[in-house]
Each structure stands twice: as C-alpha cells, then as structure tokens.
Amino acid sequence: MSSHKIDRRAERVLLGALRVWGVQGSVSCEPDGFMLCAAAGKKMRIARDLPRGWRLFNETRLLGEAAGLPGLLRLLREELAPQAARGRLIIGSALP
Amino acid sequence: MTPVPVSVITGFLGSGKTTLLSRLLRDPALERTAVIINEFGAVGLDHLLVESSDEQILTLEGGCVCCTVRGDLVRTAGDLLARRAAGAVAPFERIVVETTGLADPAPIVHALMTDRDVADALRLESVIATVDAAAGAGTLDAHPESVKQAALADRIVLTKTDLADPAANGLAARLQALNPAAPKLAAVHGAVDAGRLFDGRAYDPALYDPALYGAPAHRHDDIRAFCLRRETPLHAATLSLFLQVLAEHCGARLLRLKGLVDVVESPGRPAVIHGVQHVFHPPAWLDAWPDGDRGTRMVVISQGLDEQWLRDLLELLDQEVTACSIS
C-alpha cells in the first residue's frame, strides 16, 4: 500500500479521535508526519518514524513518544482532552 | 460444576417484563428457574405478580439494580447458589434477573461477567429486552434508557402486539435499524416461545449477514449498528490493540461488539469475540469456520461512533503490527 494512502488513513484516524474526545480541530499531512490544530489554539506536530514509533511536539518541545498508535492516542488525549472518559479493557468470564 | 445460565430481562416501565416472566415460568421447560426481581421503590409489587414458588423468587428492593444494588445482585445470586448446594431450595437450572424499567443493563452484565465470586459459577446466557408495540416508539423517543436497553439486547420481545402492529407504526423498522441481529419475537399477554428466547447464539454466523445492516437509523437515535468486514487475517496483536483502544477511548459508547475473527496465528480456527462496552469475554476459538465465509466480521452497536473511523483504526493498527513483526 502506498505511503500516501497510509498517511490519509492516519489523518482520518487522528481526526476521528478528536471527534471521539469532543475536541474540535483539524489534522493535515506533513512531509514527516502530521500537524494537528485544536480549536483551543493548541498546535501539535506528530512525527512518524516507523518502526520506532511516534513523537509528539508542541511548538517548542517534545511532549512524548509512543511505540505505536495506541500510545500516541493516549498522549494526544492527555494533552487535548484530559477530561474525556478513559476506560480500561476488562476480560471477564468465558463465553457460554 | 456446570455454570448456571443467567438471563437478564430488561425493558422500560410498563413494557411487559413481569407479564413475560410470569408466562415463561409457567412453561414446563423453565420450571427449574430461579428468579431475581429488582424492584424500585419502597414497596415492591412486581414479585407478587409473578406466579411461581416463593422460595425461587428473590427481590432486590430500594434501588435500581444497575447502580445501587449491583453488589446485592451478586450476593443474592451467590446466596441462591449456596442454598441450592445445601438443598435448601429446589435444584434450579437457570436464573432470570428482571431489572427495573429504568435500569441500564450494561453494569448488570458487567457484574455477571466479571465478579469473581459468581463469574465462574454463572454464565451470562442472554439479555432480553421487552418493547411495548403500542407505546414503544414514544418511549424510545422520550427515554434514552429504553433505546439502550433495546440496543444491548440479544433478543427483543415485542409485547402487546394485540393492541398495535409494530410493522405498521414503524417500531419494527426502528428496532431493526437499532439492533439488526437481535431476533424480534412477538408476545401477546406474555406468551412467547421460550425455546427461541434462551437458545445460545454466540457463534451463529447469521448474526453477521451483511443484509441485516445498513438500514437508516431513526432520526432520534444516535445509536448505529454496522458490520466491519475484512478479507485478510488480522494479527492477534492487532485484535488485542484494537479492543484496548476501543475500551480506552470509546468504552461507554461501544454498546456491543460481537465478532468472528480470522487470526493470522490461528489459521482455520476463528476467534469469537463478545463484549459489552469495555468488558469482553476472553476470545473463544472455534475448531472450524461455522459457514463458507472465511472473512473477519465484527458487528458493532455503538452510540455516536463512526464506522469508517473504526475501519481505519483497525487497518492502521494492523499495518503497525505488520511493520513491527519479525517475518
């Protein structure tokens, strides 16, 4: 699959995550990752360096690193929507 | 010891839960059934309307089972099992829990799936929602609890069908869009085929028939049902990460997820996954595909989650896992 197609998918996933958290904003593709602009005036650069992972920057500094998309989404939620509900996967009893 | 099947009967106030239960308990196939009735209010009445042996009916009073007496439910179920083991009650083979009309069934299901005191002794069989064929549409409009009850159910019983035709008043189509895979059974004065209410359908491939999905949702409902399909197998790690991301970010909005998943590491033996919000059963592994379709199918019933977002998330996670895999 072309990197362009993967980038578009990642852009949609990031934008959809904003909606899930109730954050207004936009996401655009950059040569080495994505630029995320939240309506509250927060700007963040997301650099992708697979297979090493993702790095999240604001305008001046590195905010965090994540080995994969789940970690990146967690970093973003903590930065942009710390009040958003946060769940935890629980595995219960076996299926009947 | 074989776990005792537990079914939860939910449904809005006046939708016919107690009438249904009363009729079911007269069915010889269900005579060995213990009943736990949750009554909201200082004076419980519903249990007086259910005709059965008193010792087999326990009531939870003073609160709604989904919030204040969840612990009581688990304790009561545990007590029932202990009394059965001691021979103090008739040897029941099934438990039915009737919730209050205002209850959110999800926490009840969670308690039955996860409480360590009862999870091994009980197994959740099904969630049954009653919907009043005459007043149901108005109730769904006015009370989000009733929409959630219907969306979470494994089976929907349309009651009072002698008073109104759910096909004619649009209720049937609305319920079909809300929860396409749940069989809809009609009941008159509570009479319904018990065999169809309690049969197990966890692995039934008919749940994933694409023809069931895609009907436009009612304008008042933000709950959507859709089926995610994938033709190539998923890594087990992808499936685990996908469920973790959903639980972490979308827990309360993910009402149900049921799936048959083709896993790279388990060729020819699909995984069955079932979850209610952020709580999942462990995957069950089938010995073979149940039908000719070998593709991954996941049915999602969610509140405000975008179908394409979930597809993209799943694909992107699998791309990352593939990129990190040692081949």
Q: Give ∠ CA B50-B55-B60 in degrees, rounded to 5.
A: 65
Domain boundary, last residue among B198, B221, B253: B198
Report residue B22 as tokens: 């009363």
Residues B168 and B230 in one domain: no
Residues B173 and B218 in one domain: no
**Average of per-residue pLDDT across A61-79:** 95
B280 with A89: Cβ contact below 8 A:
yes
What's the pLDDT at B234?
97
Within a domain: A40: yes
**Average of per-residue pLDDT across A66-94:** 93
Q: What is the DSSP string of B52-92?
A: S-GGGEEEEESS-TTTTSHHHHHHHHHHHHHHHHTTSS---
Domain boundary, last residue among B165, B198, B231: B198
What's the pLDDT at B203?
67
Within a domain: A39: yes
Residues B71 and B154 in one domain: yes
Helix/strand/coil for B318: helix
> What count of CB pairs under 8 Å joins A to B?
122
* CB contacts, 8 Å: A70 with chain B: 241, 244-245, 248, 317
A93 with B123: Cβ contact below 8 A:
yes
* CB contacts, 8 Å: B315 with chain A: 9
Helix/strand/coil for B15: coil
Q: What's the domain count of chain B?
A: 2
B282 with A95: Cβ contact below 8 A:
yes
Domain boundary, last residue among B174, B198, B222: B198
d(CA A74, CA A81): 10
Residues 116-145 of B with CB under 8 A from A: 119-120, 122-125
Residue A19, domain extent: 3-80
What's the pLDDT at B70?
63
Helix/strand/coil for B101: coil
The CA-to-CA distance between both ends of chain B, in Å, stands at 43
* ipTM of the complex in this document: 0.94
What's the pLDDT at B78?
86
Within a domain: A93: no
Name the pTM for this structure. 0.86
Q: How far is A62 from chain B (nearest CA, A)?
A: 22
> Which residue did the predictor score with more confidence, A74 or B39?
A74
Residue B305, domain extent: 205-324
Residue type for B14, please?
G
Mean pLDDT by 10 residues, chain B (327 residues): 89 92 87 79 45 52 52 82 88 89 86 83 91 94 92 94 92 94 90 81 73 75 89 97 96 92 96 94 93 92 94 95 79
Within a domain: A85: no
Residues B176 and B256 in one domain: no
Residues B113 and B183 in one domain: yes
What's the pLDDT at B59?
61
For residues B208 and B299, is the Cβ–Cβ distance under 8 A?
yes
Report residue B7 as tokens: 């079914």
Q: What is the CATH number of the domain that holds B228?
A: 3.30.1220.10
Residues 99-118 of B with CB under 8 A from A: 110, 112-114
**Average of per-residue pLDDT across A14-23:** 96
What's the pLDDT at A5?
66
Tell whether A93 lies on the interface with B, counting CB pairs under 8 A: yes
Residue type for B210, please?
P
Within a domain: A31: yes
What's the pLDDT at B53?
42
Q: What's the domain count of chain A?
A: 1
Q: How far is B214 from chain A (nearest CA, A)?
A: 21
Closest residue to B249, CB basis, from A50, A77, A94 = A77
Residues B136 and B242 in one domain: no
Within a domain: A86: no
